[in-house]
Chain A
């Protein structure tokens, strides 16, 4: 499905560790660090669906790569 591995940027200064992106990522790409903030654990599984971006209350996560889903 992935012609190109995605790239996810997490702005750790803005992330408040609410866990929404982690809980609802359909591909289980993200995990919580010890301080609760999000971290990428399984980038190969990312489908670039963009749901993490849409649901992040803090604009702290950004998915890069071709066919950027959230602008479709």
Chain B
């Protein structure tokens, strides 16, 4: 499918071009999501895309699906409601690092714990872009932000480890540089029957880049290229070699009972008196 066909099929073309800054990775991730939905042969009329608040959460506004642009941090709460009401729908959540890990942090761990069949794509640009560059729980320690003029002293979350520990059953990390792999990670997440979580390391050249000595989006993608280590390669590396790097690829995968299926079987069927 050509880019023109992709955009005409999956975007609300009257809303384009989008408002994201030059070099912002959000458009790359949204493109990867559209390509993944196409590759997975998802029924557009049975797919709901849900977001919270932030730069990344504007994405569903550009996408030609049934979409919900919800309140800050609550994308997963709304998505849980949609999925519970109609488990036949494919529910995709697009959220940012702040929306997902700070304001919506509790929703994240509990959606993961339940193993509800949602596909979550986190746009991790390490900063609150829309509100002017405040640091988020995913801003790397010692990075600069509007609210951390001397460098952030906070330790950042490893969100993939957090989700795995909370009970998520498909966990992967990609980047906007490794775009082809990112599409495949999202396809795998869409195909997984359970809570699928894909963290995407992306670039905010305007707020994170300018504060952290990245002159351009290209420099930020080069950083990704140099610091991302595929899981298989990492297995052969020492901890010294891995210092300062981050892992990409499928980090965790298990099959476990899915929440809406269990609800139907153990709650609805009993409530209807179909089973005792």
* Interface, chain A (partner B; CB < 8 A): 9, 13-14, 16-20, 23-24, 51, 53-62, 64, 68, 70-71
Contact = CB atoms under 8 A, between A and B. Distances in A.
Interface string B12-49: 00001110111111111001100100000000000000
A59 B23 contact: no
Contact of B3 (A16, A18, A19, A59): A59
Nearest to B219: A23
Nearest to A70: B35
Contact of B17 (A14, A23, A53): A14
A19 B218 contact: yes
A25 to B, nearest CB: 12
Contact of B216 (A19, A64, A71): A19
B7 interface: yes
A20 B23 contact: yes
Task: Please classify how large the interface on chain B is, using the bins under 10, 10 to 19, 20 to 34, 35 or more.
Answer: 20 to 34
Given A54-B179, A59-B31, 4 more contacts: A24-B221, A57-B26, A59-B7, A60-B17
Interface of B: 1-4, 6-7, 11, 16-18, 20-28, 31-32, 35, 176-177, 179-180, 183, 205, 216-218, 221-222
Nearest to A22: B218
A44 to B, nearest CB: 21
Contact of A53 (B3, B176, B177, B205): B3
Contacts, number: 77
Contact of B22 (A18, A23, A54): A18
A61 to B, nearest CB: 7
Nearest to A57: B27
Contact of A57 (B1, B2, B4, B28): B28
Nearest to B26: A57
Contacts of A58: 17-18, 27
A24 B1 CA distance: 22
B104 to A, nearest CB: 24
B16 A18 contact: no
Contacts of B23: 16, 18-20, 57
A53 B28 CA distance: 9
A59 B3 CA distance: 7
A57 B31 CA distance: 8
For the complex of A and B, the 9 pairs showing the least CB-CB separation, nearest first, are A57-B27, A18-B23, A16-B22, A54-B179, A62-B3, A23-B218, A14-B17, A18-B22, A18-B217
Contact of A54 (B26, B180, B216): B180
Given A14-B16, A18-B23, A70-B35, A55 B1 contact: no
Contacts of B21: 16
